[in-house]
Amino acid sequence: MSQNERTFIAVKPDGVQRGLVSKILGRFEDRGFKLVGIKLVTPTENLLKEHYAEHVNKSFFPKMLSYMMSGPILATVWEGKDVVRQGRAILGATNPLNSAPGTIRGDFAIDMGRNVCHGSDSVESANHEISLWFKPEELNDWKLNQQAWIYE
């Protein structure tokens, strides 16, 4: 659980279209995580097929692919202690109806097909997803001045 652990969090097209970007970014900043990469992108079909490789042959994939290509996605990389697991907790359960109030999905989503965000589910998947969405030079290594007030 290094303080340098990184995760990939994406605000999906519904989150961008609904004007939730600043609220979602604020949840991670308020918690004390450091933003090291951010960009607004409209993903290609190939990128999404790589990102969701385990779902490509599933019946729901064409509909999900169309939705994910329907508008811009805010791709972000966050850094901090246990950020992958904590990021998933901030997002809430994949199915918003199972998400607790106070989580992003619990507060802003109802249907699983419009669940506002994606978050890496392991350090390995985070590293893979970050490499798909960001070039190394697009990630910033910088010192968070608040770090001494967040970590012991």
- Extract the tokens encoding 48: 């999404």
In a domain, 131, yes or no: yes
Residue 72 belongs to some domain of the structure: yes
Annotation-wise, does 108 bind a ligand?
no
Q: What is the pLDDT of residues 38-56, one digit of tens each?
A: 999 999 999 999 999 999 9
Mean predicted confidence (pLDDT) in 10-32: 98
The annotation status of 18 as a binding-site residue, yes or no, is no
Tell me the average pLDDT of the chain.
Answer: 96
Cα(97)–Cα(110) distance, integer angstroms: 6
Give the strand pairing for 34-41 and 117-119: unpaired
* Dihedral angle sign, alpha carbons of residues 40, 42, 46, 50: positive
- The answer to whether 114 is a known ligand-binding residue is no
Calpha distance 98→74 (Å, rounded): 24
Is pLDDT of 112 > 50? Answer: yes
Residue 59 counted as domain residue: yes
- Give the residue carrying structure tokens 């190939």: 46
Q: What is the DSSP letter of 33?
A: P
Sheet holding 117-119, edge to edge: 34-41, 73-79, 6-11, 117-119
94 is in an annotated binding site: yes
115 in a labelled binding site: yes
Per DSSP (E only), the strands in the chain are 6-11, 34-41, 73-79, 117-119
Instruction: Please indicate, yes or no, whether the overall pTM of this predicted structure exceeds 0.85.
Output: yes
Q: Are 45 and 146 in contact (CB under 8 A)?
A: no
Is residue 110's pLDDT more than 60? yes
- CATH number (domain holding residue 112): 3.30.70.141
pLDDT at residue 4 in the model? 85
pLDDT mean over 16-30: 98
For residue 147, tell me if it sits in a domain: no
Residue 151 lies in a domain: no
Q: Does residue 96 lie within any of the structural domains? A: yes
Tell me the CA distances in angstroms from 46 to 8, 130, 140, one per residue in order: 18, 15, 26
pLDDT confidence of 3, banded at 50, 70, 90?
confident
Task: Give the catalytic positions in this structure.
Answer: 118
* SS3 label, residue 97: helix
Determine, yes or no, domain membership for 116.
Answer: yes
In a domain, 152, yes or no: no
Residues 130 and 8 sit within 8 Å (Cβ to Cβ): yes
Show the domain range for 27: 6-142
Q: What is the pLDDT of residues 132-150, one digit of tens each?
A: 999 999 999 999 999 999 9
Residue 60, marked binder: yes
Domain count, the chain: 1
